[in-house]
Amino acid sequence: LNDDDVERLCGALADNSTVTFLSLSGNGIGAEAAKFIGHMLKSNKGITTLDLNVNNIGDDGALFLAQALRENDTLAELFLYGNQISVVGDNHLLYGLQHNSAISFLDLQYEVGLSDSAVQDNIQKRVKENLKDCLGDSCDNVSF
């Protein structure tokens, strides 16, 4: 897929509440496509699972997604491993998660040399808080 394809797809999904799962994994999309996805997520009320694994989203794309997380209350699972997201992008995502109570699963898969385990730990703590809010005390034994 190229950026124009992703822009058209996101335009169609912006007000769609029927599609709940979207996988764009392994399509080589980058930050520009992530910008379109982030914009779509701000208004989409259907997608609960978004798989963006193994792309080239990077830190700039993580920023666009983080901005969307601050406004989206539907997305529960976000898959982002293999996207060359560094500690900068991790911090963007942590910022987005601070105002999001819907994400209960976020897969970043620590990338050696790029990410910081302390930031990743903080991200996972926030995700666990969201999960606990959804499940109550029944998730006390959940580990990441």
Listed range (22-31, 87-96, 109-118, 120-129) with the worst mean pLDDT: 109-118
Q: Is the pTM of this model over 0.95?
A: no
Interval 36-80: pLDDT, tens = 999 999 999 999 999 999 999 999 999 999 999 999 999 999 999
Interval 1-24: pLDDT, tens = 899 999 999 999 999 999 999 999
Interval 24-46: pLDDT, tens = 999 999 999 999 999 999 999 99
- What average pLDDT does the chain have? 87
**What angle separates helix 87-97 from helix 117-135, to the nearest 10 degrees?**
20
Dist CA 129 CA 5 (whole Å): 35
